[in-house]
Amino acid sequence: MTSPGTSSASSPVPTALRRLDDGRIEITWSDDRRRVISPRELRDACPCANCREKRDATTTVPLLQVLSPEETRPLAVTGMKPIGQYAYSIGFSDGHDTGIYLFDYLRDLGRDA
Ligand SMILES: [Zn+2]
Protein backbone atom coordinates (compact mmCIF):
# COMPACT_ATOMS: atom_id res chain seq x y z
CA MET A 1 0.00 0.00 0.00
CA THR A 2 1.38 3.41 -0.88
CA SER A 3 0.28 6.73 0.47
CA PRO A 4 1.32 9.44 -1.93
CA GLY A 5 1.97 12.83 -0.48
CA THR A 6 2.70 11.67 3.04
CA SER A 7 6.16 11.20 4.41
CA SER A 8 6.77 7.69 5.69
CA ALA A 9 9.12 9.12 8.29
CA SER A 10 6.39 10.81 10.31
CA SER A 11 4.13 8.70 12.47
CA PRO A 12 0.38 8.78 11.89
CA VAL A 13 -1.55 11.26 14.01
CA PRO A 14 -5.22 11.21 15.03
CA THR A 15 -7.33 13.24 12.64
CA ALA A 16 -10.72 12.62 14.26
CA LEU A 17 -12.06 11.58 17.63
CA ARG A 18 -15.57 10.39 18.23
CA ARG A 19 -17.43 8.98 21.18
CA LEU A 20 -19.69 6.17 20.06
CA ASP A 21 -23.13 5.63 21.56
CA ASP A 22 -21.82 2.85 23.78
CA GLY A 23 -19.10 5.11 25.20
CA ARG A 24 -16.23 3.66 23.24
CA ILE A 25 -13.81 6.04 21.58
CA GLU A 26 -13.21 5.89 17.86
CA ILE A 27 -9.96 7.35 16.61
CA THR A 28 -9.33 8.02 12.94
CA TRP A 29 -5.66 8.25 12.04
CA SER A 30 -3.97 10.23 9.32
CA ASP A 31 -3.29 7.02 7.41
CA ASP A 32 -7.07 6.32 7.32
CA ARG A 33 -6.89 3.62 9.91
CA ARG A 34 -9.77 3.61 12.37
CA ARG A 35 -9.51 2.12 15.84
CA VAL A 36 -12.15 1.65 18.51
CA ILE A 37 -11.15 1.55 22.17
CA SER A 38 -13.32 1.04 25.24
CA PRO A 39 -12.86 3.37 28.23
CA ARG A 40 -11.89 0.38 30.35
CA GLU A 41 -9.15 -0.65 27.93
CA LEU A 42 -7.82 2.89 27.90
CA ARG A 43 -7.95 3.12 31.67
CA ASP A 44 -6.27 -0.25 32.19
CA ALA A 45 -3.53 0.78 29.79
CA CYS A 46 -2.92 4.11 31.54
CA PRO A 47 0.79 4.82 31.16
CA CYS A 48 1.19 7.10 34.19
CA ALA A 49 3.68 6.09 36.89
CA ASN A 50 0.95 5.36 39.45
CA CYS A 51 -0.94 2.94 37.25
CA ARG A 52 2.19 1.24 36.01
CA GLU A 53 3.24 0.66 39.61
CA LYS A 54 -0.18 -0.70 40.48
CA ARG A 55 -0.16 -3.06 37.51
CA ASP A 56 3.31 -4.31 38.41
CA ALA A 57 2.24 -4.85 41.99
CA THR A 58 -0.86 -6.85 41.10
CA THR A 59 1.04 -9.16 38.77
CA THR A 60 3.52 -10.15 41.46
CA VAL A 61 1.28 -10.17 44.53
CA PRO A 62 -2.31 -11.32 44.00
CA LEU A 63 -4.35 -8.98 46.16
CA LEU A 64 -8.00 -9.22 46.96
CA GLN A 65 -9.72 -6.90 44.59
CA VAL A 66 -11.84 -4.08 45.90
CA LEU A 67 -14.43 -2.22 43.91
CA SER A 68 -14.93 1.36 44.93
CA PRO A 69 -18.29 3.00 44.24
CA GLU A 70 -16.65 4.82 41.34
CA GLU A 71 -15.50 1.54 39.83
CA THR A 72 -18.95 -0.02 39.83
CA ARG A 73 -20.24 2.75 37.64
CA PRO A 74 -19.69 2.38 33.93
CA LEU A 75 -16.38 4.02 33.19
CA ALA A 76 -16.42 6.84 30.70
CA VAL A 77 -13.86 8.97 28.99
CA THR A 78 -14.56 12.52 30.10
CA GLY A 79 -11.91 14.29 28.08
CA MET A 80 -9.07 13.94 25.63
CA LYS A 81 -6.65 16.84 25.32
CA PRO A 82 -3.87 16.95 22.79
CA ILE A 83 -0.39 17.40 24.22
CA GLY A 84 1.73 19.01 21.53
CA GLN A 85 1.75 16.92 18.39
CA TYR A 86 2.58 13.61 19.97
CA ALA A 87 0.18 12.60 22.73
CA TYR A 88 -3.24 12.85 24.36
CA SER A 89 -3.99 13.48 27.98
CA ILE A 90 -7.08 11.41 28.78
CA GLY A 91 -9.48 12.00 31.65
CA PHE A 92 -11.86 9.37 33.03
CA SER A 93 -15.09 9.47 34.98
CA ASP A 94 -13.32 7.96 37.99
CA GLY A 95 -11.40 11.21 38.29
CA HIS A 96 -8.11 9.93 36.92
CA ASP A 97 -6.52 12.20 34.35
CA THR A 98 -2.76 12.00 34.69
CA GLY A 99 -2.13 9.53 31.88
CA ILE A 100 -0.30 10.81 28.83
CA TYR A 101 -0.95 8.54 25.88
CA LEU A 102 1.65 8.86 23.16
CA PHE A 103 0.19 8.45 19.69
CA ASP A 104 2.40 5.43 19.04
CA TYR A 105 1.06 3.82 22.21
CA LEU A 106 -2.55 4.80 21.60
CA ARG A 107 -2.44 3.33 18.14
CA ASP A 108 -1.83 -0.16 19.41
CA LEU A 109 -4.78 -0.11 21.81
CA GLY A 110 -8.25 -1.31 20.96
CA ARG A 111 -9.16 -2.91 17.68
CA ASP A 112 -9.71 -1.98 14.08
CA ALA A 113 -13.10 -0.42 13.49
ZN1 LIG B 1 -2.78 6.36 35.43
Mean pLDDT by 10 residues, the chain (113 residues): 52 94 96 96 95 80 70 88 95 95 95 93
pTM of the model: 0.79
Question: Which residues is 88 bridged to in the sheet?
Answer: 82, 101
**AA identity, residue 51:** C
Centre of ligand 1 to C-alpha 43, Å, is 7
Distance (angstroms) between ligand 1 centre and the Cα of 46 equals 5
pLDDT in the model for residue 56: 83
The class that CATH gives domain 14-108 is alpha beta
Cα angle: 76, vertex 91, 57; to 5 degrees = 90
CB 78 within 8 A of CB 91: yes
Report CA(39)–ligand 1 centroid distance (Å): 13
Bridge partners for 37 per DSSP: 25
CA 29 to centroid of ligand 1, rounded, Å: 24
> Where do the structural domains in the chain lie, given as residue ranges?
14-108
| C-alpha of residue 16 to centroid of ligand 1, in Å | 23
